[in-house]
Structure 1
Amino acid sequence: MGLSAALLLVFTLVSACEAYSISFPTSQARRSVWQGTRILKRFRPARHYLQPVRQANPWPMQPLFHPYQGSRQDLRPKATARDVKLTNHHDKFYSCPITIGTPEQEFNVAFDISSSITWVPSMHSPPAYRRMHVYKRFNDELSSTHSTNYTHFDVNYDLARAIGYRSQDSVTIAGLMITNQSFGEALLEPDLFRGMMIDGILGLGLNNIDEEEEPSVFDNMVSQGLVPAPVFSIYLNRYGSGSPDSVLTLGGANPEYCEENFTFADVTEHHRWQFEIDKVQLSSGDGIFTSGRQAVIDSRTSFIVGPMREVHVLNTQLGGKLFPGHPGLLSNSYVYKYKFDCSEVDDLPDVEFIVNGKKLSLSSRDYVVKTEEKGKSVCVSGIFGMKLKEKDEPDWSLGLNFMRAYYTQFDKGNRRIGFARALSFPQT
């Protein structure tokens, strides 16, 4: 069997598995990732751009503990902050349009705080895979400014991964064109966005120095003088509410969406938006559930996720109970969910995250999710417990429900994160 025929057969089998089994068992998901990795390795000899990851980087990156030192004086004095409208996809993802190439090819991408790479699907994915996954795909042959950056990328989204190779082209967002920008062309994409009209990812995370990652879209936006400061900020609305559109502000913060005073926390890791939490407590004074823990802002999850036992005590103190049928804390379950009596939700105390000595309070409206199940209202805690992660991972992940409550400022120049209470708007 020839190489192309073997590729077609394997990709057909992998795609069929995805199409007929939306919820992958862990073993099956790992098997698919292994198959995709093997295919990528076999694909390399046939295409010149799929070379080993550790090949010399043609665009070497300076150490980025303070990435904008030495570049601030080069910023254009007339550059102004830009607001980018974000589309809310049922409180699960927030996306915005970007264009790549000359002439421009448009894509709708979800922002990601956890990774720095921007990627879109490639036209060079095998035909069988393209038929099973309907996304817009970048066609490098149509762009006169395209070049290939001889390395591959691999981004892990828990049980799914995006795998492909890096290219270089112009990328435009909010009318700002970033030239010679490295981005990923995905040969295998995770099935995260099915039915949501999202094509790829806009990476807004910190660069991983240890892996010599190339400058992100925002890094180059700053170095090319397109924005006035190495700061971006995010306001997220609630789906179906009367709030204004969600907004990503490039180059500063927009005071129209938040209260005046920010609480700042220093970034404690060089490759992610991580900071220290002094403690977590209830406004009723019923106990401190954690102290001296590390937290990360995580746009990949809709919820707040914390250590299993601490979250169990917190939710129990609030009156929550493990979801019916849950095997319990001694089981091998990975995530622990809790439910409340909907008639008592409005009277629940605030959950307070103490950061740099200041209270960041979440009301029950922020941390309780109300849904309908068989015609009845179900109230679920938006604070999940999770079994211990890897040693180098943070204890808490503050997801989209936290970011909806707090306007968040990401200051790359000073390596800090700022939080200001998002302004309340009338509900429809």
Structure 2
Amino acid sequence: MHLFPDAVLFITLVSTCAASLLSIPLIGANRPSVNFKRFQPHRAPHRLRASTRVKKLLGLRNNIHRGPKPPDSWKTGPIVDFECMRKAEKPPVSRQDIELQRQNNMHYGKINVGTPGQEFNVTFDIGPSPMWILSIQSTLVLNWEKHQKYNFESSSTYINKGKFFQLKYSFGEVGGYISQDSVSVAGLTVVNQTFGEAIANLDVFADTVIDGVVGLGFRNISHNNETNLLDNMVSQGLLEAPVFSIYISRLGRSDRPSYLTLGGANPDFFTGGFTFVDLTVPHRWQFQMDRIQLFGGKYIFGNGGCQAEIRFSSSMLVGPYADVDRLNAKLGAKNSSLSGPYVLYEFDCSEVDNLPGVEFIINGKKLSLSSKDYVVKWFQEGSITCLSAFRGRKDFTEVNESLWTLGHVFMRGFYTYFDKANSRVGFAKAKH
């Protein structure tokens, strides 16, 4: 249906008055009305259906523009010649480092969204998670004052996508609008990056300073199959290859932060060469591990091969309960009186420096993790408890009963290289 200018003006005035009477923020008057109570978590986000009223509002919004922009700018956005960008005088960089801070076992870095840039603290997910940041339209965020919120009206490069998104995590849900804008990280600017503006159920990072998530994993299982930030950096000629590396500093050390390196590996963070292994599960950082052993093979765990997965969102080393229990016993750890989601083991703190290295055999190569990495010191009421980072769980199914999850503790010992182009992951001794 075509709306004449007079009709558009009349409807806009009516919408503004209605927003005022209903105490609806004017900043969101043009955006789709979302009833998140109707969202069904068990349904995939892309299968959600907007109501007839929402569709009408979306149609109306596509004919409204701000300032001197022509109406079509809502539909098409700026025209970008990617081929021209690739041939530009400035060649793609081989790598770019992003400094990471740590809070509540989560690492986060800074990005800028929009023009001019609005700064946010985001955690980088190595899995298939799409990008989302908090929206200024949300009123459901705990500890609101701790967070930065995206204001689409403040950005001259914002593009309305007219869609919704909803994501379900193990620790909470988020939902909101899908938008598009420029995103800058470590001096690299991606144009027309799609992301979610989160406005509902936002207690996910309530106790942190984190304002959103940026996914770096494989594209084809991402939300709505949208291209993530790393892949767009490659397609727009900013990086040479879709690879990244992570360095995690040791706990209690303030002289060097952790780093995410986009596009390659930084030799300042590792020593020696990489041990590479192919992925065994498509679109996940999972691979075949030969075994785990102590004292050069005197004690073997997972003999005959087992599956292992690198998980940046996990802090410990989690494996089958029987193997973990026997491993801790051979290391001299005893059951701890501390409680938690897993069975905990603790060492005599005076013996920590004398503990042997735990050897991970990957693709025929031995990677030895020292006690400086697999012993975690727990400070409580003026005392120190030395806990084992090896945790066992009993809830495995037949499919994943041999799976080991290698989190921060493993990555602290080994600089980890994620190669999406060749579906492999590599490890080198971290330089601390």
TM-score range, shorter chain: 0.7 to 0.9
List structure 1 runs of 4+ shifted beyond 6 angstroms.
39-46
Question: Structure 1 residues 42-51 or 264-273, which shifts more?
Answer: 42-51
Aligned residue in 1 for 2:158: 146
C-alpha displacement of 1:163? 2.8
- Residue identity opposite 2:211 in structure 1: D
Aligned residue in 2 for 1:365: 372
Aligned residue in 2 for 1:305: 318
Structure 1 SS opposite 2:96: strand
Give 1:95's match in structure 2, choosing from 108, 117, 123. 108
Structure 1 SS opposite 2:290: strand
Identity of aligned residues (%): 43
Give the Cα separation in 1 of the matches to 2:382 and 2:57: 52
- Residue identity opposite 1:267 in structure 2: L
Matched, 1:185 2:197: yes
- Count of residue pairs brought into register by the alignment: 371
- Residue identity opposite 1:288 in structure 2: I
- Residue identity opposite 1:342 in structure 2: C
Matched, 1:166 2:178: yes
User: In 2 relative to 1, CA 132–244 (structure 1 residues): closer, same or farther, beyond 3 Å?
Assistant: closer
Give the Cα separation in 1 of the matches to 2:135 and 2:180: 13
Give the Cα separation in 1 of the matches to 2:164 and 2:363: 39
Aligned residue in 2 for 1:420: 428
Give unmatched runs, 5+ long, in structure 2.
1-23, 25-35, 59-74, 77-82
Contact kept in structure 1, 2:100 and 2:260, CA below 8 Å: no
Give the Cα separation in 1 of the matches to 2:222 and 2:213: 22
What does 1:256-295 correspond to in 2, within 5 Å? Answer: 256-283=268-295, 285-291=297-303, 292-295=305-308
Give 1:105's match in structure 2, choosing from 100, 104, 118. 118
**Which protein, 1 or 2, shows the higher relative CO under an 8 Å CA cutoff with sep ≥ 6?**
1
Contact kept in structure 2, 1:116 and 1:207, CA below 8 Å: no
- Residue identity opposite 2:387 in structure 1: V
Contact kept in structure 2, 1:410 and 1:416, CA below 8 Å: yes
- Residue identity opposite 1:341 in structure 2: D
Question: Structure 1 residues 176-185 or 152-161, which shifts more?
Answer: 152-161
Aligned residue in 2 for 1:137: 149
Aligned residue in 2 for 1:341: 348
Give the Cα separation in 1 of the matches to 2:222 and 2:196: 19
Give the Cα separation in 1 of the matches to 2:154 and 2:129: 26
- Residue identity opposite 1:105 in structure 2: Q
C-alpha displacement of 1:191? 3.7
What does 1:402-413 correspond to in 2, within 5 Å? Answer: 402-413=410-421
Give the Cα separation in 1 of the matches to 2:409 and 2:87: 34
C-alpha displacement of 1:176? 0.9
User: In 2 relative to 1, CA 373–208 (structure 1 residues): closer, same or farther, beyond 3 Å?
Assistant: same
Structure 2 SS opposite 1:324: coil
Question: Structure 1 residues 143-152 or 395-404, which shifts more?
Answer: 143-152
Give the Cα separation in 2 of the matches to 1:344 and 1:90: 29
Give the Cα separation in 1 of the matches to 2:141 and 2:50: 16
- Residue identity opposite 1:173 in structure 2: V
Structure 1 SS opposite 2:273: coil
Give the Cα separation in 1 of the matches to 2:38 and 2:410: 34
Deviations 1:241-292 (A, max 9, x none): 1543322221111111111310001122222222111111123544211142
- Residue identity opposite 2:346 in structure 1: K
Give the Cα separation in 2 of the matches to 1:383 and 1:75: 50
Contact kept in structure 2, 1:110 and 1:200, CA below 8 Å: yes
Contact kept in structure 1, 2:115 and 2:157, CA below 8 Å: yes
Give the Cα separation in 1 of the matches to 2:398 and 2:132: 28
C-alpha displacement of 1:222? 0.6
Deviations 1:207-228 (A, max 9, x none): 3448652111001111111012
- Residue identity opposite 1:409 in structure 2: Y
TM-score by length of 1: 0.76
Give the Cα separation in 1 of the matches to 2:390 and 2:202: 25
C-alpha displacement of 1:94? 1.7
Contact kept in structure 1, 2:171 and 2:204, CA below 8 Å: no
Give unmatched runs, 5+ long, in structure 1.
1-7, 9-33, 52-57, 60-70, 327-332
Matched, 1:234 2:242: no
What does 1:235-250 correspond to in 2, within 5 Å? Answer: 235-241=247-253, 243-250=255-262
Structure 2 SS opposite 1:240: coil
Contact kept in structure 1, 2:290 and 2:362, CA below 8 Å: yes
Give the Cα separation in 1 of the matches to 2:219 and 2:188: 21
C-alpha displacement of 1:166? 2.3
Question: Structure 1 residues 42-51 or 355-364, which shifts more?
Answer: 42-51
Contact kept in structure 2, 1:279 and 1:290, CA below 8 Å: yes
Structure 2 SS opposite 1:315: helix
Question: Structure 1 residues 227-236 or 77-86, which shifts more?
Answer: 77-86
TM-score by length of 2: 0.76
C-alpha displacement of 1:201? 1.3
What does 1:371-410 correspond to in 2, within 5 Å? Answer: 371-389=378-396, 395-410=403-418
Contact kept in structure 2, 1:111 and 1:203, CA below 8 Å: yes
Give the Cα separation in 2 of the matches to 1:50 and 1:106: 30
User: In 2 relative to 1, CA 324–370 (structure 1 residues): closer, same or farther, beyond 3 Å?
Assistant: same
- Residue identity opposite 1:399 in structure 2: G
What do you get for the CA RMSD once the two structures are aligned?
A: 3.6
User: In 2 relative to 1, CA 133–228 (structure 1 residues): closer, same or farther, beyond 3 Å?
Assistant: same
Give the Cα separation in 2 of the matches to 1:335 and 1:75: 54
Contact kept in structure 1, 2:276 and 2:424, CA below 8 Å: yes
Give the Cα separation in 1 of the matches to 2:414 and 2:426: 9
- Residue identity opposite 1:339 in structure 2: E
Give the Cα separation in 1 of the matches to 2:253 and 2:296: 29
For the pair shown, the structure with the greater C-alpha radius of gyration is 2
C-alpha displacement of 1:391? 6.1
User: In 2 relative to 1, CA 90–109 (structure 1 residues): closer, same or farther, beyond 3 Å?
Assistant: closer
- Residue identity opposite 1:401 in structure 2: V
Give the Cα separation in 2 of the matches to 1:50 and 1:378: 59
Contact kept in structure 2, 1:82 and 1:249, CA below 8 Å: yes
Question: Structure 1 residues 76-85 or 276-285, which shifts more?
Answer: 76-85
Give the Cα separation in 1 of the matches to 2:405 and 2:153: 40
Contact kept in structure 1, 2:133 and 2:150, CA below 8 Å: yes
